[in-house]
Amino acid sequence: MDELLTTNDLTDEALMRQFCAGDSSAFHILYARHEKSLYRYVRRVLGDSLVAQVDEVFQDSWMKLVDERNNWQPRDNARFKTWLYTLAHHRAVDILRKSGREISVDEGWADDDAEGAWQQWPAATAEQPEQKAFWNKAGQRLLQCLEGLPALQRAAFLLHHEDGLSLEEMTQVLNAEFETVKSRLRYALIKLRTCMGAHLQPLAEVERA
Amino acid sequence: MSLQNLNLLKDKHLQKALQHAPDSDAAPSKVLNKTVLDYANKALKVQRETWFSRLKSMFNDFKIARWKLTGMGSLAASLLVVVMIWHENPDDPIQVATAPDTLQTVAEPYVKQRAEPYAEQHAKPKIAQNELVRDELLTDQAVQKPQAVTKAAPVANEPIAASAETIAPEPEDKNEMKVFAKNRPVIPEAAPVASPMDQASVQLKERAASNEAVPMPAPVVAAPAPSVASAEVSENSVAQQSAPAIIAAEQMAEAEAKSDNADSEISSAAAKPTLTSNNALVQAISKVGGKAMANQDIQAGNLRILYLNNSVPADPPSLDNVTGYRVEFIADNSAKLAVEIATYNQAMRDWYVKQNQ
């Protein structure tokens, strides 16, 4: 017998349709699914200097989603998550512009040796318990390196690596062309690898961080 | 783009490091969560209430409107009934006013009819026989009589103004004046009012004695009819109380011709009413209207009642039987002027009533 689908089994798009129809529990589920990831994205895009406005951007993003729920018309199987991050990104960019921080520098360094990076680092696939501290420190170092990136490159990196958006979805969120999105992402990776010491022995770089 | 290139755009080491970043457990606060969720719940509540509240409000408005409509309907029905009763026969032709085809003016019967309520209000005593005769004459055809043109200064081309009033000539028939004085209706006694015209009236006496025609100074409206009435009443009461009542009355009547008065012309009111060659008056009334003209005359102290007639009757009234104001005849018989004259007289009578309240 087929199991009956519960509300929790519904996709984001189905829940959103239910919410538009007046089901408040559908929204509660949607919110629970995406609240933390969205909060982290907003926090990292704004950076440490604008951490005080993270809650405001987060709240405004969800409220705008509620207000615009009847205008949500997904096209070409567009995901709900893409729309949600689009609202949040636009709000965050507004805050960044008001703060005067650098938003976009669509230029980067020359291509590094991407294939040669991370050779001396532990493998990223398997994690040994004794390596947890190492990766914790690597993560701390990475946040510092992200602070040095322009906001749009930082956003491109986060959307692709943290939130799993495809390049096509990123074009919608970042409101940029496909090649622009690729360029931004490539530049972000080069800078981060350099910053993280991807070509160096990891333990020494991590300790210095 | 090749798959390999696309894979190069995702760095697993960086991704793993990101998963172990210190803020990987960052989450919104409970307060923030509640704020967002409450906002969404409220939005849905408003959405639900919108159509429901609209339906409910429509129902409520309908209920409220019912009693209002009931009241309005009753009012409309009442008005309809009133209108239907008002126009009992809507087919009757509209009566058009026509110009009188006789010398008798339209104003006279109108004046007579309007005068009657005033007479009832003030409970005038029975009018003497000769006055009854006089009233009858007003309704009859006018009796041609040699016109007694006023000897006052010509005012035909002068604007009717307070200061332009002239002194009426000496009464030609003093006996007739005495009769009128004796049979004058008793007016309720009013407290005598000191009038600034007293000094002017003294001057009039002196000047009248010297037969000097002097234009009256601009009279101040301070002694309206009551003062005249009080003078008349006091004179009449004295005449009644004193032994030689008739003689005293005659004397007082003579004095009245020269005594103080708010209207200098009233002091000589015993003179026969004359047919005024008063084109200026006619023009003024036609221009400003009867009521406005009456207001001007009242302010000037020129209290009079106008009669339209081309000739003075055989026994014309010198004073209006209601107000006691001087009667003046106007040689004109146009219907339009008759309306204005009626308005003028009504204003004069209203003033009289106001002063006697």
ipTM: 0.88
Cβ-Cβ contacts under 8 Å, B22 against chain A: 136, 139-140, 143
Note the pLDDT tens digit of each residue in B170-226.
445 555 444 444 555 455 554 555 555 555 556 556 665 555 444 444 444 444 444
Q: How far apart are CA B302 and CA B153, in angstroms?
A: 16
Note the pLDDT tens digit of each residue in B224-250.
444 444 444 444 544 454 455 556 556
Tokens 């010509």 locate to B154
Whether the pLDDT of residue B93 is over 70: the answer is: no
Confidence of residue A78 (pLDDT cuts 50, 70, 90): confident
Q: Look up residue A91 and give its two tokens.
A: 């709000």
| Count of CB pairs separated by less than 8 Å, A with B | 120
Q: Which of A65-74, A87-96, A114-123, B25-34 has the lowest mean pLDDT?
A: A114-123
pTM: 0.47
Chain B residue with the nearest C-alpha to that of A124 = B13
Q: How far apart are CA B204 and CA B226, in angstroms?
A: 20
Q: How far apart are CA B289 and CA B344, in angstroms?
A: 8
Whether the pLDDT of residue B286 is over 50: the answer is: yes
As a whole number, mean pLDDT of residues A79-106 equals 86
Whether the pLDDT of residue A198 is over 60: the answer is: yes
Q: What is the pLDDT of residue B201?
A: 57
Q: How far apart are CA B243 and CA B252, in angstroms?
A: 14
Tell me which DSSP letter residue A150 carries. Answer: -
Cβ-Cβ contacts under 8 Å, B29 against chain A: 55
Residue B56 to chain A, least CA–CA distance (Å): 20
**Identity of the highest mean pLDDT range in A97-111, A163-177, B131-145, B257-271:** A163-177
Inter-residue contact A35 to B27 (CB < 8 Å): yes
Whether A40 and B43 lie within 8 Å, measured CB to CB = no
What is the three-class DSSP state of B87? coil
DSSP string covering B198-252: HHHHHHHHHHHHTT---PPP---TTS-HHHHHHHHHHHHHHHHHSSSHHHHHHHH
Inter-residue contact B337 to B282 (CB < 8 Å): yes
Find which of B9, B49, B51 to mutate to test the A interface (most A CBs within 10 Å of its CB).
Answer: B9
Rg from Cα positions in chain A: 19
Confidence of residue A9 (pLDDT cuts 50, 70, 90): confident
Chain B residue with the nearest C-alpha to that of A165 = B10
**Identity of the highest mean pLDDT range in A197-206, B76-85, B165-174, B213-222:** B76-85
Inter-residue contact A50 to A64 (CB < 8 Å): no
Can you list the pairs that A97-104 forms with residues at least 24 positions away whose Cβ atoms lie under 8 Å?
Answer: A99/A49, A99/A50, A101/A47, A101/A49, A101/A50, A101/A151, A102/A150, A102/A151, A103/A150, A103/A151, A103/A152, A104/A150, A104/A151, A104/A152, A104/A153, A104/A184
Q: Look up residue B272 and give its two tokens.
A: 């026969």
The overall average pLDDT reported for chain B is 66
> How many percent of chain A have pLDDT more than 90?
58
Q: What is the pLDDT of residue B35?
A: 96
Find how far residue B30's CA is from the centre of its chain: 79
Cα–Cα distances (Å) from B161 to A173, B5, B155, B177, in that order, read 92, 113, 10, 27
Whether B20 and A117 lie within 8 Å, measured CB to CB = no
Confidence of residue A33 (pLDDT cuts 50, 70, 90): very high
| Residue positions counted in chain B | 357
Question: Closest Cα partner for A117 from B100, B208, B106, B17?
Answer: B17
Residue A89 touches partner B, C-beta closer than 8 Å = no
Q: Look up residue B31 and give its two tokens.
A: 């307060």
Q: What is the pLDDT of residue B146?
A: 46
| A55, containing H or E segment | helix A54-67
Whether B22 and A140 lie within 8 Å, measured CB to CB = yes
Inter-residue contact B181 to B249 (CB < 8 Å): yes
> How many percent of chain B have pLDDT more than 70?
38
Tell me which residue in A55, A157, A186 faces B28 most closely, judged by beta carbons.
Answer: A55
Cα–Cα distances (Å) from A200 to A148, A157, B282, B288, in that order, read 20, 22, 123, 113
Q: What is the pLDDT of residue B228?
A: 44
Q: Which residue has the higher pLDDT, B183 or A101?
A: A101
- The residues near B149 (Cβ < 8 Å, ≥ 6 apart) are B274, B275, B277
Tokens 């020129």 locate to B302
Confidence of residue B310 (pLDDT cuts 50, 70, 90): low
Q: How far apart are CA B255 and CA B248, in angstroms?
A: 10
**How many Cα atoms occupy the beta-carbon half-sphere of A48 within 13 Å?**
10
Whether A142 and B14 lie within 8 Å, measured CB to CB = yes
Tokens 């409509």 locate to B69
